[in-house]
């Protein structure tokens, strides 16, 4: 796969003077799709009764519909971070390396701050901040900070480094640093999820940053394909070829449990659940096979959607143009809906003021709704948020020149 990527990229012409361009609608559309899908998993966390009992990927207890309700959301984080890398490249095409590095460093720092103090509050509704859940915004922020230094390296070396991290980090799966000290935390920060208690505060490292750095760096390199001087038909063929290669490589390596995921697939009692086992790859941290089966289809999708938007896709791109704004407000609205759901179900609203993850709260045992209700709440959420996102998108477009801070939202 590394060789194929190198071949595809070697003839790209880099011409900073001609790189100034408008937003790429296909990127906004794909980002909008994954942002909408992402909300489904968060609604499930707060509303589905089985979320308090077992993981939706537990093949001993899940259903096919529930499994795919979870599996489809696997695409969200890697695609979001990959597209963040492409967007970083495109942001810097008419700027100096110093300007791009400054933007990436400051925006990354802002995202880390937002994860800790804005998004953590959305998850808990607890102003005493007993819980810090370090997830995708955190990982994206750290990855941007690292990328702010990497951009000074030649792109070919960034590409090689990205592929090595993505393909090689699973060699670290058997490395463990037990305990709760600083060394253990640093290892969780890099590669192994963990929970830590510091005084009265709980830190959950859900997104170790090492593989996400590889993904954003890969996206940054792929941003070169969107150089206006690069033929769009060649771009489509490149994305299609690499995407298909990723899927074939996934199927080959996964079928024989060769490498790339610490959790091997096992033949199940029936054909359908055997397929589920094959697809049941590791997200925390994202394994090599997880990245192949999520970014591969995403690249194919990008290669196929470079066409004028229709009425529906235009609406979806609205979410893709204001992803951070949408991400923050959708969490607050979901949590508010969950409080209403708890009251309707006979629970105290205070039970939804959290000191840990919602599905770990003992007082909420027995709370929840069926999967059909989860989907209904999800659809209602998207319809409710659309006009707010459309307003903010319009506001950003009108004021992006005189209010540069809007690029951080």
User: pLDDT per residue over 360-377, tens digit each?
Assistant: 899 998 999 999 999 999
- 203 pLDDT above the threshold of 60: yes
Q: How high is the pLDDT of residue 20?
A: 44
Q: How high is the pLDDT of residue 105?
A: 98
pTM for the whole structure: 0.93
CB atoms inside a 10 Å sphere around CB 156: 12
- 306 pLDDT above the threshold of 80: yes
Return the percentage of the chain with pLDDT > 90, whole number.
85
Domain spans, the chain: 2-408
pLDDT band, very low/low/confident/very high, at 1 (cuts 50, 70, 90) = low
Pairing of strands 131-134, 201-205: parallel
Which letter, b or e, does each residue of 248-274 get, where b requires 16 or more Cβ atoms within 10 Å of its Cβ?
ebbeebbeeeeebbeeebeeeeeeebe
- 16 pLDDT above the threshold of 80: no
Return the percentage of the chain with pLDDT > 70, whole number.
95
Calculate ∠ Cα 38-41-46, nearest 5°.
Answer: 130
Residues in the chain: 409
User: pLDDT per residue over 235-293, tens digit each?
Assistant: 999 999 999 999 999 999 999 999 999 999 999 999 999 999 999 999 999 999 999 99
Q: Are 407 and 400 in contact (CB under 8 A)?
A: yes
Gap between the Cα atoms of 147 and 327, Å rounded: 22
| Mean pLDDT of the 139-148 span | 98
| Mean pLDDT of the 335-348 span | 97
Q: Residues near 112 by Cβ (< 8 Å), separated by ≥ 6?
A: 137, 138, 141, 142, 145
Q: How high is the pLDDT of residue 23?
A: 74
């Amino acid at each position: 796969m590394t060789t194929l990527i190198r071949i595809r990229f070697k003839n790209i012409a880099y011409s900073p003077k001609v790189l100034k361009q408008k937003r790429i609608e296909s990127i906004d559309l794909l980002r909008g799709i994954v942002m909408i899908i992402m909300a489904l998993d968060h609604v499930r966390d707060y509303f589905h009764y089985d979320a308090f009992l077992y993981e939706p990927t537990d093949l001993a207890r899940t259903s096919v519909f529930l499994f795919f309700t979870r599996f489809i959301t696997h695409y969200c984080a890697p695609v979001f971070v990959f597209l963040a890398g492409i967007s970083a490249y495109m942001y810097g095409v008419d700027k100096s390396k110093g300007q791009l590095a400054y933007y990436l460093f400051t925006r990354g720092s802002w995202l880390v701050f937002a994860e800790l103090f804005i998004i953590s509050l959305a998850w808990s509704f607890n102003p005493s901040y007993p819980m810090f859940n370090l997830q995708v915004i955190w990982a994206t922020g750290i990855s941007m900070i690292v990328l702010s230094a990497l951009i000074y390296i030649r792109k070919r070396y960034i590409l090689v480094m990205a592929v090595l991290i993505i393909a090689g980090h699973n060699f670290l799966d058997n490395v463990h640093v037990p305990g709760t000290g600083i060394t253990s935390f640093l290892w969780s920060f890099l590669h192994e999820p963990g929970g830590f208690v510091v005084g009265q505060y709980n830190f959950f490292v859900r997104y170790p940053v090492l593989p996400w750095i590889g993904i954003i760096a890969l996206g940054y390199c792929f941003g070169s394909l969107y150089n206006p001087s690069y033929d769009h038909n060649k771009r489509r063929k490149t994305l299609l070829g690499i995407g298909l290669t990723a899927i074939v490589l996934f199927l080959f390596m996964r079928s024989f449990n060769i490498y790339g995921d610490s959790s091997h697939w096992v033949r199940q009692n029936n054909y359908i659940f055997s397929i589920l086992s094959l697809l049941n790859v590791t997200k925390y941290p994202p394994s090599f096979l997880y990245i192949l089966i999520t970014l591969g289809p995403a690249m194919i999708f990008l290669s196929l959607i470079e066409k004028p938007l229709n009425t529906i896709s235009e609406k979806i791109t609205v979410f893709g143009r204001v992803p951070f704004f949408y991400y923050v407000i959708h969490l607050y609205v979901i949590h508010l809906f969950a409080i209403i759901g708890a009251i309707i179900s006979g629970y105290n609203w205070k039970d939804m003021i959290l000191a840990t993850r919602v599905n770990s709260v003992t007082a909420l045992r027995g709370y929840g709704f069926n999967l059909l209700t989860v989907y209904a709440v999800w659809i209602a959420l998207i319809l409710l948020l659309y006009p707010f996102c459309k307003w903010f998108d319009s506001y950003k477009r009108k004021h992006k020149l005189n209010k540069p801070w809007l690029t951080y939202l």
